[in-house]
Amino acid sequence: MFANIVNTFANCFKIPELKSRILFTLFVLGICRLVAMIPVPGLDGALLLQYFESQKSAAGGLLGMYSMFTGGALERCAVGALGIMPYISATIIIQLLTAVVPQLSKMVREEGGRAKIIQYGRYLTVPLCLGQGFVMAYGWERADTIFNGFTGNLVTYENLWWYRIQTTIILTTGTMLMMWLGEQISERGIGNGVSLVITIGILARLPAAWQALMDMFFPSGGVETHFNFFHGIALILLLLAVVAGVIAVTQAQRKIPVQYAQRAVGRKVFQGGSSFMPLRVNYAGVMPVIFAQAILMFPQRILQFLGSSLDIKFLREMAVMLNEGAILYMIVYGLMILFFSYFWVATQFNEIQIADDLKKYGGYIPGVRPGVATSDFLHNAMHRITLAGAVFLTVIAIIPILLAREMNVPYAVATFFGGTSMLILVGVMLDTMRQMESHLLMRHYDGFLKKGRLRGRF
């Protein structure tokens, strides 16, 4: 099997077009890593990086997730510290508005409308970058109040307003540059460019995770460890199970049969045929996990602030119970993932429009009447499979928390056993391999992915 994979990669470089696309993608991703390494003028990035390396638990929470998406640019005070996330946020906002604003919903169905929607997302990215860039510049200025235990001054400029304006512009420029580079990968490279920019940032943490893993079993300085050979075997088996589960659920879909009736257009008669409509089990992808993790940060911070300011013991206890890793936190976290999974499907999956399009083109689901009955059938089918996908997301999201809480696995290691890191990595790799496989099959080479006959009903 390994020999077949190596042979398939070798075949990729035998196709000139695919070879040039792969090399171009690698070159652009290398530029993205440089953007995540170059520090912003007027900031002592080495001081903050040293603090993060000394704090083993500092990688958790919203800051840890944001730093993961930027590939460590946040703690380096780098030009790409905002990452590609403002563009992702703008795209999500536009998608949600498309589901509720009739003008945008009509625009999507028009010719060239989707390109306009993408353009609106780019325009929205600029004010989001300016706002987040100013907040990040102010946060670096007050690093001693944001990062627990941090001492020192990151800002080397005396004129603070000049520093804030300059840093905001530089961070905005860095994000717009990475957005443009991601689009260039999508057009001239291989894979989804924006997703690959995030993926390369996550993979940049692999060396640190590997070092933390080695320190778990072979600590330096004569420090004793409670990890043994059986723990290592258990972690390997867990990793394989998580990867296999993510791949299976990411590709899982329910195929709804669709029959097209014979129809006449003018003097031409179009023969009817049969097809299927794929409904993805994990339709929402990684979005419910990101929403839940980001929103859960605010109640804990608010309760902690109010409890300390008003000296109310109950609020302080609630803040502790909502800390990442607490039982209440995991319960609320799981419920929010379930909620956002259904919320995303409700806003993005329009069963009424699908039913109308089927009826318009003479298609119908065998045994289901066209129109309202078809819409209800699709709604019920999507409702059932969304439950399976949401439960799966909840399990995958809680695995890193349980590893860090119950087994004292370092957070840098635990993130690669589930959560957003694993979901993004597997999803992007599968998408990239599908695009590479399409080029290979066009040239009559064997591809990466093997087709199975796994069937199931939800």
pLDDT computed for residue 3 by the predictor: 62
Tell me the two tokens of residue 441. Answer: 């099959």
Which residues lie below 8 Å from residue 39, measured CB to CB, with a gap of 6+? 45, 46, 76, 77, 78, 79
Give 58's pLDDT tier (boundaries 50, 70, 90).
Answer: very low
What is the CATH superfamily name and number for domain 1-204? SecY subunit domain (1.10.3370.10)
Same fold for the pair 1-204 and 233-417:
yes
Backbone angles phi, psi at 264, to 5 degrees: -110, 130
pLDDT at 276 over 80: yes
For the chain, what is the mean pLDDT? Answer: 82
pLDDT computed for residue 175 by the predictor: 93
Predicted model pTM: 0.81
pLDDT computed for residue 177 by the predictor: 94
Class of domain 233-417: mainly alpha
pLDDT computed for residue 221 by the predictor: 63
Q: Which of 83, 60, 79, 87 lies closest to 70, judged by CA?
A: 83
- For the chain, give every domain's residue range: 1-204, 233-417
Is the CB of residue 202 less than 8 Å from the CB of residue 73? no
Q: Which amino acid is at 320?
A: V
pLDDT at 168 over 90: yes
Could you please report the per-residue DSSP string of 177-217?
HHHHHHHHHHHHSSS-HHHHHHHHHHHTTHHHHHHHHHHHH
**Which bin fits 260, alpha (ψ -120 to 50), beta or left (φ > 0)?**
beta
Mean pLDDT for 366-384 is 89
Candidate ranges 106-115, 151-160, 177-186, 231-240; pick with highest mean pLDDT? 177-186
Give strand ranges (E) for 311-415. 363-364
Higher per-residue confidence, 223 vs 241 = 241
pLDDT at 347 over 60: yes
DSSP lists the bridge partners of residue 270 as 263
**Helix pair angle (85-100, 102-109), 10° resolution:** 100
Mean pLDDT for 401-425 is 82
pLDDT at 169 over 90: yes
pLDDT computed for residue 454 by the predictor: 43
Buried b / exposed e along 77-114 (16+ C-beta atoms within 10 A): bbbbbbbbbbbbbbbeebbebbeeeeebeebeeeeeee
As to burial, measured by CB atoms within 10 angstroms (0-12 exposed, 13-18 middle, 19+ buried), residue 162 is exposed
Q: Which of 345, 217, 366 lies closest to 282, judged by CA?
A: 345
- CA dist 458 and 453 (Å) reads 16
Mean pLDDT for 355-365 is 84
pLDDT computed for residue 64 by the predictor: 65
**Cα atoms found within 13 Å of the Cα of residue 73, Cβ hemisphere only:** 31
Mean pLDDT for 358-385 is 87
Q: Which of 87, 192, 111 lies closest to 433, judged by CA?
A: 192
pLDDT computed for residue 223 by the predictor: 61
